[in-house]
Structure 1
């Protein structure tokens, strides 16, 4: 009989993409005499954990949420002498959900670590299988998406990403009805490229506008172009389609993970801010024209730097300029209050804290714009 996490990877690679939870559950029962197995995936807003094996069962509770938030296994001894384990399903820092499994007795640390590895193998397989089955997409949804939201979610690179020298996360709201706001990222070698965009308008037209910009910048980036060339290709693509009647406000950043130097092209409303020891300051950049306003627009790079313990945040105008019911803008002071609450949180938790603060600030008033936040912690390596 195949043993251990490595064999689970082989089993999952041989399984149909929509049967990964069942294959994992069968292995856990046969190898570990496990019971009570459930795969719980975070919904689009990461506010609930949705069951996959038994979709009619309850969402994940406080212990599952604790595991998901802390990214550490949680052991829950049961009155019958068994132990329920809650194990994070994570790929490169991207939190997908929680694997719940009940085993006889109290597991030794070695067994807990082995089961954590199995949860990681399952997470990798589920992320890969998303291209070929709708099962996991359906499980994550509490309601139907708008067409614009469907397009935007398919464009996103993920919701968090960790490396040896950085931690990164992004969030998008309202999750089920977004329009033109978006973020993108890619890490290659010593460079991390971040982009936050806001396509003009509402609904599917705004989403299509943003999709044009994102794919143009990806095309340039994957051809080895720098952020100026990425911005110029995207601007030309939008102008050729809309003739200056539509534009995309964009902030492009290229972070050197070796020394914290950041090159920037500021082409619109998204703002970069740096949090340090409880203070929050806006990065001062000279704003250039949004993408697509004119033909043959040229852009220039500006530079700033990150220091150890700096947290870089980029927010769309749906965050910093939100003024529900005529109140002062959220970015005036309330954003600082929300950011201060995140000091002990990793970026994947911090983005949720800031957006919850934004929801509270609206006090029941429907937002008139979607919102994006990206959070980066630069972890300078010591020699």
Structure 2
């Protein structure tokens, strides 16, 4: 009778043990204190947390701007040494592979845990334990994730982490402006990964990039502003801001081109211009759309080989009030990569006057691809190849922006384990 009147009764809740266990208490104290914790106290608090599980010799490393080394974060309670190379070091293996690395030592096990904040890789946490059990591994992964979240949140109001990354080498004023507006230079989700490198890393001026993953659509842009130095950085910043404004207004690619074009023309007139590419990738289907505004054509990579240049009918720079170029499309297959790059990649000349050219870029892609783990290492090795060709000297910015579409779905991440 009651069921007919009031409907079916809700299912009975199964009583569960909600008492605080050791791991929850350890992570909970870190989380509870993180809201008011000054940035300089992250190091001693992390060291104390690690000591609670029997760990010692704690280090935190961040990647440097040139993507060559991992630099130690100084702080009370942390072990600080020299920077370590990304290639060939256990810290580098953990960072590039996004996985825990264990190294047996005479006095225990040295453990290297990647610091991952969502899709962004922050650095590596290192510590030594006498022994390592599966419960320790699970707790360390969660501890590292919480540390990464803290670092990212505190970065908004401290220079401590920026200063650690650049070590003893300052950024130019133009580069300072650029990095202040760039998104993280790497991202990974089950459906898509991306990585970027800007050279010369500490003096980049006119090159910039942007991306956002909005409800299954990955929005991307790569920008090359006319000129050099501070003036180019300001022009690139305007273009990037106009791109974000149009993206957040949810306009189409042709309308986005027009908005950016009008912003540049209205501010700088016909004296300056910007080349760019704006893209949309459906991360569920692999359907790619893009507008090319004066850039070299992107390269489609399948099975570590360049199979196609993604050509467009017209490539019109922005800032001249010209009609928007046509939208180009491509259907990616799972595992496909697309490399976007600025003209500084293929037009730079080496010490002997030789031009890098697209053919040498393709050779480099097909050489480093099979031995590289993921898009981060691939981009970093391509950038290193470019640096060698330049002989350490550059006359223009050069940016690489690599995306890889994995396909599939990420829905399982929203389902709790039973």
The reply to whether residue 120 of structure 1 matches residue 142 of structure 2 is no
Is the 8 Å Cα contact of residues 121 and 186 (structure 2) preserved in structure 1? yes
Could you tell me which of 177, 195, 216 is aligned with 2:203? 177
1:28: which partner in 2?
Answer: 50
Output one character per residue of 1:257-313: Cα deviation in whole Å (capped at 9) or x when no partner.
12211111110124311111232121111233211123x643432222212221111
Output one character per residue of 1:10-68: Cα deviation in whole Å (capped at 9) or x when no partner.
33233123422222222222x21321111111111121111113596322362222222
2:316: which partner in 1?
Answer: 289
Is the 8 Å Cα contact of residues 267 and 291 (structure 1) preserved in structure 2? yes
1:63: which partner in 2?
Answer: 90
2:292: which partner in 1?
Answer: 266
Query: What is the CA–CA distance in structure 2 between the aligned matches of 1:203 and 1:128, rounded to whole Å?
Result: 30
2:25: which partner in 1?
Answer: 3
1:350: which partner in 2?
Answer: 378
Query: What is the CA–CA distance in structure 1 between the aligned matches of 2:338 and 2:35, rounded to whole Å?
Result: 38
Is the 8 Å Cα contact of residues 71 and 165 (structure 2) preserved in structure 1? yes
1:306: which partner in 2?
Answer: 332
Is the 8 Å Cα contact of residues 170 and 374 (structure 1) preserved in structure 2? yes
Query: What is the CA–CA distance in structure 1 between the aligned matches of 2:211 and 2:334, rounded to whole Å?
Result: 21
2:416: which partner in 1?
Answer: none
The reply to whether residue 194 of structure 1 matches residue 220 of structure 2 is yes
Is the 8 Å Cα contact of residues 251 and 271 (structure 1) preserved in structure 2? no
Query: What is the CA–CA distance in structure 1 between the aligned matches of 2:291 and 2:31, rounded to whole Å?
Result: 42
Deviation at 1:339, TM superposition (A): 3.9
Is the 8 Å Cα contact of residues 197 and 210 (structure 1) preserved in structure 2? yes
Query: What is the CA–CA distance in structure 2 between the aligned matches of 1:118 and 1:138, rounded to whole Å?
Result: 24
- Find the structure with the greater CA-based Rg: 2
Q: Provide the TM-score with structure 1 as the length reference.
A: 0.93
Deviation at 1:160, TM superposition (A): 0.9
Query: What is the CA–CA distance in structure 2 between the aligned matches of 1:305 and 1:270, rounded to whole Å?
Result: 20
1:276: which partner in 2?
Answer: 302
Q: Secondary structure at the match of 1:140?
A: helix
Is the 8 Å Cα contact of residues 38 and 100 (structure 1) preserved in structure 2? yes
Query: What is the CA–CA distance in structure 2 between the aligned matches of 1:287 and 1:7, rounded to whole Å?
Result: 58
Output one character per residue of 1:204-251: Cα deviation in whole Å (capped at 9) or x when no partner.
100000000000110111122122222211110110111111011001
Is the 8 Å Cα contact of residues 339 and 354 (structure 1) preserved in structure 2? no
RMSD of the TM alignment (CA)? 2.0
CA distance change for structure 1 residues 135 and 365 in 2, over 3 Å: closer, same or farther?
closer
Q: Secondary structure at the match of 1:275?
A: strand
Deviation at 1:334, TM superposition (A): 4.1
Is the 8 Å Cα contact of residues 266 and 286 (structure 1) preserved in structure 2? no
2:396: which partner in 1?
Answer: 369
Could you tell me which of 146, 165, 175 is aligned with 1:149? 175
Q: Secondary structure at the match of 1:149?
A: helix
Deviation at 1:140, TM superposition (A): 0.2
CA distance change for structure 1 residues 342 and 278 in 2, over 3 Å: closer, same or farther?
closer
CA distance change for structure 1 residues 63 and 235 in 2, over 3 Å: closer, same or farther?
same
Is the 8 Å Cα contact of residues 12 and 122 (structure 1) preserved in structure 2? no
1:204-219 matches, within 5 Å, as 204-219=230-245
Q: Secondary structure at the match of 2:35?
A: helix
Query: What is the CA–CA distance in structure 1 between the aligned matches of 2:346 and 2:331, rounded to whole Å?
Result: 22
Point out where structure 2 has 5 or more consecutive residues left out of the alignment.
1-21, 412-418
1:102-121 matches, within 5 Å, as 102-103=128-129, 105-121=130-146
1:129: which partner in 2?
Answer: 154
Aligned residues: 378
Is the 8 Å Cα contact of residues 12 and 23 (structure 1) preserved in structure 2? no
Deviation at 1:373, TM superposition (A): 0.8
The reply to whether residue 100 of structure 1 matches residue 126 of structure 2 is yes
Query: What is the CA–CA distance in structure 1 between the aligned matches of 2:309 and 2:118, rounded to whole Å?
Result: 29
Q: Secondary structure at the match of 2:131?
A: coil
Could you tell me which of 49, 73, 78 is aligned with 2:70? 49
